[in-house]
Amino acid sequence: MSPTRRELIRTTLGLAALATGAGLTACSGDGKGQGVSSSSGPASIAASKVPVGGGAVLEGKGYVVTQPTKWAYKAFSTVCPHAGCNVSAVRDGVIICPCHDSHFKIADGSVAQGPATTGLTAATVTVDGSNLKVSA
């Protein structure tokens, strides 16, 4: 027995809904760059892990903390303004985005090398004993 016209339409609509749902699932997350989602809630790191003239990425927390000069801490969002990847390293005085190799200055998050045309978004960092507390 072949399906009726009504059954065919119902099946087609059901498949279309499934396809749409699958598409939305594939696009979940931040929908940019690596698709790495990062939290931007409060976070902390031991001050001893943030070297003078360098910094540290708080993996999975959405922040990078730097210490351009002794006792002067800075914090930024890890989200690269170029295409939304997360910066992944601090080396030679710059914060590095692995996707297209943009570099940002540790002192203020400004662009040191493109393709990014704007700097990293600043975050708040406070010293709490031997720890650094970071928040948006």
* Shorter beta-carbon distance to ligand FES: residue 83 or 89: 83
* Shorter beta-carbon distance to ligand FES: residue 58 or 85: 85
Extract the tokens encoding 73: 């801490």
Min dist CB 86 to ligand FES, Å, is: 8
Contact footprint for ligand FES (CB under 6 A): 33, 80, 82-85, 97, 99-100, 102, 115-116
Min dist CB 83 to ligand FES, Å, is: 4
Min dist CB 25 to ligand FES, Å, is: 23
**Could you tell me the end-to-end alpha-carbon distance of the chain, in angstroms, rounded to an integer?**
63
* Shorter beta-carbon distance to ligand FES: residue 33 or 68: 33
